[in-house]
């Protein structure tokens, strides 16, 4: 879908932002992960607004007005008083809170992580999501040796975090973030040998590592404690394929199958919408650089991924294109996407 400046001017004239209205009569249990609103957060910073949604209390209220049932956001840095206010409001609204926190990198960083876990508990949360790799495996590492060092470093960071998590009664769910393939993830998690760690299952990320998303969700479901709900559209490219976040129900995912697998394995698991309003990401799986750390991946997995792209993909110009738009328009797209996803989750997914 290609959005023009004129499209947004027409939409703006037709209706105000829904977040300024009263909460919808029907709310979903689905929460919203803070990355979903990265453009709104940027706009808040640039305008120095009085109630930025980077503040978890304001984010909770914003999510409530959009009809969400909870939030997954950074809680580190909250004062004890502010964390108590967040907890009070969440309980009053019947909403839930999960943290999204950065792991310690070395011993000197443990104190900072401990403060973050205190904030998580003070806000009424018992789970914090995190990531091990901020980028993408095929873009970050150019050798098997570099990947091996990353795996060892990730284990060390989690070992630093484990006693802190145990002291505060927090589970840390680290995301499959275009780093580990499913079997690698499971082996890594089990080697940690701690009930303080679990998976935050992202429904789309592993397709970039040439795995079927439905099979990945089913493999990780037994070790899951949180999930990032999203849908995905794909298109062919000369060097591989393009993948983009799209509104729930408009992509290639069998969402009931995925949600069913996660609910069966972890009935108390909460789903957070994580949808980025941005151009499609390029997955250059037909280049030599892409394979630098995945030489053991069978060619059949590449063939399967490309078959899915060929059978279910759309023309590249049908994928979202928003990066070139003014920030205000990107903010509007973010919100419109979320409103559609909340309605779909409530009406069609039983959330």
Q: What is the pTM of this model?
A: 0.92
How remote is the C-alpha of 252 from its chain's centroid?
Answer: 18
Round the average pLDDT of the chain to a whole number and report it: 93
- Bridge partners of 236? 241
| 137 vs 66: CA distance, rounded Å | 34
Question: What are 36's two structure tokens?
Answer: 């979903």
Reported confidence tier of residue 23, pLDDT bands at 50, 70, 90: low
Mean pLDDT of 132-138: 97
Q: Please tell me the predicted confidence (pLDDT) of residue 16.
A: 37
How does pLDDT run across 157-190, given as a tens digit for each residue? 999 999 999 999 999 999 999 999 999 999 999 9
**Model confidence at 3: pLDDT above 60:** no
CATH of the domain at 212: 3.20.20.150
**Model confidence at 96: pLDDT above 90:** yes
Q: How many domains does the chain have?
A: 1
How does pLDDT run across 295-306, given as a tens digit for each residue? 999 999 999 999
Q: Please tell me the predicted confidence (pLDDT) of residue 204.
A: 98
Neighbouring C-beta atoms of residue 314, cutoff 10 Å: 18
Of the CA atoms within 13 Å of residue 76, those in its CB half-sphere come to 17
In this prediction, what percent of the chain has a pLDDT beyond 90?
Answer: 92
Q: Please tell me the predicted confidence (pLDDT) of residue 27.
A: 82
How does pLDDT run across 54-79, given as a tens digit for each residue? 999 999 999 999 999 999 999 999 99
**Model confidence at 5: pLDDT above 50:** no
Reported confidence tier of residue 6, pLDDT bands at 50, 70, 90: very low
DSSP track, 177-221 = -SSS-HHHHHHHHHHH--TTEEEEEESSGGGGGT--HHHHHHHHG
In angstroms, what CA-CA distances link 116 with 58, 137, 167? 19, 27, 13
In angstroms, what CA-CA distances link 13 with 8, 9, 114? 8, 6, 48
Neighbouring C-beta atoms of residue 22, cutoff 10 Å: 7
Contact 283, 236 (CB under 8 A): no
Backbone angles phi, psi at 15, to 5 degrees: -160, 150
Angle 182-192/144-168 helices, nearest 10 degrees? Answer: 50
Nearest by Cα to 117 from 201, 30, 196, 192: 196
**Model confidence at 8: pLDDT above 50:** no
| 69 vs 27: CA distance, rounded Å | 7
Domain span at 166: 5-348
Reported confidence tier of residue 39, pLDDT bands at 50, 70, 90: very high
- Listed in sequence order, the DSSP H helices in 75-109 are 80-93
Mean pLDDT of 242-269: 98
Nearest by Cα to 191 from 211, 162, 167: 162
């Amino acid at each position: 879908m290609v959005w023009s400046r004129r499209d947004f001017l027409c939409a703006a004239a037709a209706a105000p932002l829904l977040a300024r209205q009263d909460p919808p009569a029907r709310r979903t249990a689905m929460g919203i992960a803070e990355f979903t609103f990265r453009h709104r957060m940027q706009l808040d910073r640039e305008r120095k607004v009085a109630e930025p949604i980077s503040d978890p209390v304001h984010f909770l209220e914003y999510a409530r007005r959009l009809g969400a049932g909870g939030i997954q956001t950074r809680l580190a840095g909250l004062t004890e008083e502010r964390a108590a206010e967040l907890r009070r409001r969440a309980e009053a609204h019947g909403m839930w809170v999960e943290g999204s926190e950065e792991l310690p990198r070395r011993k000197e960083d443990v104190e900072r992580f401990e403060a973050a876990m205190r904030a998580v508990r003070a806000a009424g949360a018992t789970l914090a999501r995190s990531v091990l790799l901020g980028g993408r495996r095929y873009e970050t590492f150019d050798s098997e040796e570099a990947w091996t060092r990353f795996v060892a470093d990730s284990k060390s960071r989690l070992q630093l975090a484990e006693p802190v998590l145990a002291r505060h009664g927090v589970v840390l769910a680290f995301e499959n973030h275009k780093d580990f393939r499913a079997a690698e993830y499971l082996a890594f998690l089990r080697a940690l040998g701690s009930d303080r760690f679990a998976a935050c299952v992202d429904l789309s990320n592993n397709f970039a590592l040439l795995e079927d998303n439905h099979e990945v969700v089913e493999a990780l479901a037994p070790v899951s404690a949180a999930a990032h709900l999203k849908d995905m559209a794909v298109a062919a490219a000369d060097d591989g394929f393009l993948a983009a976040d799209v509104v729930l129900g408009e992509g290639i995912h069998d969402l009931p199958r995925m949600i069913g697998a996660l609910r069966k394995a972890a009935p108390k698991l909460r789903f957070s919408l994580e949808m980025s309003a941005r151009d499609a990401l390029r997955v250059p799986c037909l280049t030599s650089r892409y394979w630098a750390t995945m030489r053991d991946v069978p060619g059949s997995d590449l063939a399967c991924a490309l078959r899915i792209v060929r059978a279910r993909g759309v023309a590249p110009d049908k994928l979202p294109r928003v990066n070139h738009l003014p920030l205000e328009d990107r903010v509007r797209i973010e919100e419109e996407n979320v409103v559609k996803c909340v309605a779909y989750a409530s009406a069609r997914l039983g959330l």
